[in-house]
Chains A and B, each alone.
Chain A
Amino acid sequence: NAGVTQTPKFRVLKTGQSMTLLCAQDMNHEYMYWYRQDPGMGLRLIHYSVGEGTTAKGEVPDGYNVSRLKKQNFLLGLESAAPSQTSVYFCASSYSVGAYSNQPQHFGDGTRLSIL
């Protein structure tokens, strides 16, 4: 099982450049999420999606955009990269959330992004 696949795994950008991170899941999950992980900060939610065609802001959405055109894919875009966006980005997916959920999120392997 592939699970959650993130591409690329590593990337170096210059300030002001743009790029898109791709997340694909093959588990037919409705919910997908983008997090960033910084040293000593745990994981912080950037954006999430509760289904195809939907997106919502998380804790730290500024400077990022997302799209969920297909159920299996969730794209994270950086329009004008800044050094503060240097981080490890994780995508995750889950079948459901809240009171009716007994399943954890499944995480991808991460994308290590450096902005110079």
Chain B
Amino acid sequence: ELKVEQNPLFLSMQEGKNYTIYCNYSTTSDRLYWYRQDPGKSLESLFVLLSNGAVKQEGRLMASLDTKARLSTLHITAAVHDLSATYFCAVDESGGSNYKLTFGKGTLLTVNP
């Protein structure tokens, strides 16, 4: 059974600081997604990582995928309050028409002034 572990689960940081959220998984998948969820809202897609070594960047967020280490990271640069949200990684094991996407439990990020 695939396990997807995010850490930390809770992260409180100051504006302007850098930090990294980690997503470890127990399968050999090379497809991983990052989502953002604001309180009481839907999930918004941030990044789609489809191969070993993939790196995607959008604004202050950068995601990477190391399939050999079974690890994805979401790096936050010079955090701002607007980045406060819950971040989920999800690992895709789908094959053929069979679907299997497993989410981590999420990292609640709070950016303080």
Interface residues in chain A, defined as those with a beta carbon under 8 Å from any beta carbon in chain B: 31, 33, 40-45, 48, 50, 56, 90, 92, 97-99, 101-110
Complex partner residue of B45 from A31, A33, A106, CB under 8 angstroms: A106
Known A-B contacts A102-B50, A105-B45, A108-B42; the reply to A97 vs B94 at CB < 8 A is yes
**Do A103 and B99 have beta carbons less than 8 Å apart?**
no
**Do B103 and A107 have beta carbons less than 8 Å apart?**
no
Interface residues in chain B, defined as those with a beta carbon under 8 Å from any beta carbon in chain A: 4, 9, 31, 33, 35, 41-45, 48, 50, 88, 90, 92, 94-99, 101, 103-106
CA distance A4 to B105 in the complex (A): 23
CA distance A10 to B3 in the complex (A): 31
CA distance A44 to B50 in the complex (A): 22
Residue of A nearest to B50 (CB): A102
Residues of B within 8 A of A43 (CB): 43, 88, 90, 103
Known: A98-B94, A105-B45, A107-B43. 10 other contacts (CB 8 A): A31-B99, A43-B88, A43-B103, A48-B99, A97-B94, A98-B98, A99-B31, A101-B31, A104-B33, A110-B42
CA distance A42 to B104 in the complex (A): 6
CA distance A45 to B91 in the complex (A): 13
Residue of B nearest to A96 (CB): B94
CA distance A51 to B1 in the complex (A): 26
**Do B101 and A105 have beta carbons less than 8 Å apart?**
yes
Residue of A nearest to B47 (CB): A104
**Do B95 and A104 have beta carbons less than 8 Å apart?**
no
Complex partner residue of A104 from B45, B98, B105, CB under 8 angstroms: B45
Separation in Å of the A113 CB from the closest CB of chain B? 14
CA distance A45 to B92 in the complex (A): 13
Known A-B contacts A33-B99, A97-B94; the reply to A109 vs B105 at CB < 8 A is no
CA distance A105 to B34 in the complex (A): 11
**Do B96 and A98 have beta carbons less than 8 Å apart?**
yes
Of listed B35, B41, B48, B97, residue having the most chain A CB within 10 A: B97
Residue of B nearest to A91 (CB): B42
Known A-B contacts A97-B94, A109-B41; the reply to A45 vs B101 at CB < 8 A is yes
CA distance A102 to B56 in the complex (A): 13
